[in-house]
Chain A
Amino acid sequence: MSDAVIHDGEVVGDAEGRALAAWEVASVAVSTLVGEWLVFSLGGGSNALLAFPVALVFAFMFLSHRARGESLRDLGFRLDNFTTAARLLVVPTLVMCALCLAVGLYFRSFDFLKWYGGQSILGVPALGLAWGLVQQYALQGFVNRRAQVIFGRGRRSVLLVALLFGGLHLPNPSLTLVTFAGGLVWAHVYQRAPNLFALGLSHGLMTWVLISTVPAAWLGGLRVGYKFFT
């Protein structure tokens, strides 16, 4: 192994370790792009086909955690720092909610029951929380941790996470912007208090408020990748 590398006065991974972590991040991004672009364009969006890259990327992340000896607690599946993380999240989440509500008021586009049409009032938050938790696990529990190996804690790794999160929502312009902004906040909070439950809650709540308030045309039906053009 080569010597450790110093960034901004902080010790980060050695050169080989950083390259390996960068490869891991790129690999996860490629799987997502394969799902978003190739499965939807060549496979017609078949769920059975989509299952392959999804299963592959989750299997890879799981085995990578094992190889690195990362526990669930390390990743952020824990409760001891929930309050700290929630405290860090409350202001940006409320600000975003207030902005969305203002937009919804202005355009009279409120509808807090429209997510997935027939979902019950209880089903919506449950689904939102689960979806938010899964995304935050991949984004923070995996990507953010590897980004910290590459760049150390701080602006660079936070920016990498946000750029990746936003980029994976291309070519949907509004969703790319919103996810980039959300990525900055969530990545910053995770580095201070790694708690995926709090982040998942924030993510689920933000998604619900966003789609319930902002005019649907702005969000492009939440479609990303090749699906955005269909």
Chain B
Amino acid sequence: MSGPEVSRGGALPGAAEVTNPAATPGGAPFARPHSLAPEAERRIRRLLVAKAALETLFVVALAAAFFHVNWNPRVRGAVASDGRTRVEGWVAGGRADSALEVQLFVDGRFVASATADGEPPKGGERPAGARGFSFALPRLEPGEHEARVYAVHVGGGRTRLALHPVGGGVRVRGEGVE
């Protein structure tokens, strides 16, 4: 792809020019800066540091905003079992004007969804605004299983859903609850 005519690369003021006929076919001089004025170097270095700082702040702000929008650190709750066929508990930390959706998973698999809008189970301490939920366990394979409940948080733009664990897991058996 060599052409008969080659243009000059463009010299930089404040920089020494190198004329190197051997470097360009046809012997046309190609001027290139091989050193930069100290003041220009300092200015570019400052620019790079400032840009890196701004970019870092932007990424941190982006990550913080993402966490804030898509995650709800206020969600708290507890899960218990009636000892046989139900998983129930309470959850708090949702928006005051809307009930939280909670989902039941057994062995990591989705089982059912419910709205936590009832009275929380009696006994134990719970914060103001706590709402109760209750799930009927489906028929399970014989043996031991783990049930967990998650509160659903609707993220920014209603396009992302996050599941927050409510309390810990409870062990259940296929033919009853431990």
Contact = CB atoms under 8 A, between A and B. Distances in A.
Interface string A21-47: 001100100110010001100111000
Nearest to B9: A194
Contact of B36 (A23, A68, A71, A87): A68
A27 B51 contact: yes
Contacts of A13: 33-36
Contact of B45 (A1, A20, A31, A63): A20
A134 interface: no
Contacts, number: 141
A99 to B, nearest CB: 17
Interface string A85-101: 10110011000000000
Contacts of A38: 59, 62
Contacts of B114: none
B51 A52 contact: no
Interface string B1-18: 111011101111111001
A121 interface: no
Interface residues of A, number: 58
A12 B62 contact: no
A193 B6 contact: yes
Interface stretch (A124-132, A184-192, A214-222): A184-192
Interface in A147-202: 148-149, 152-153, 185, 188-189, 191-195
B62 A67 contact: no
B48 A27 contact: yes
Interface residues of B, number: 46
Given A91-B1, A194-B7, A11 B20 contact: yes
B156 interface: yes
A84 interface: yes
Contact of A42 (B3, B35, B44, B66): B66
Contact of A43 (B6, B41, B43, B66): B66
A4 interface: yes
A4 B34 CA distance: 7
Contacts of B40: 67-69
B148 to A, nearest CB: 27
A56 B50 CA distance: 10
A88 B3 contact: yes
Contact of A92 (B1, B32, B48, B55): B1
B99 interface: no
Nearest to B14: A69
Contacts of A39: 62
A133 interface: no
Contacts of B161: none
Given A42-B66, A68-B44, A153-B30, A191 B9 contact: yes
Contacts of B45: 20
B7 A84 contact: yes
A109 interface: no
Contacts of B43: 63, 67
B82 to A, nearest CB: 42
A64 interface: yes
Nearest to B58: A52
Interface of A: 1, 4, 9-14, 16-17, 20, 23-24, 27, 30-31, 34, 38-39, 42-44, 49, 52-53, 56, 60, 63-64, 67-71, 73-75, 80-81, 84-85, 87-88, 91-92, 145, 148-149, 152-153, 185, 188-189, 191-195
20 contacts: A30-B55, A52-B58, A56-B54, A60-B47, A64-B47, A67-B44, A68-B14, A69-B13, A69-B14, A81-B5, A87-B3, A145-B10, A148-B9, A148-B32, A153-B24, A153-B32, A191-B9, A193-B7, A194-B7, A194-B10
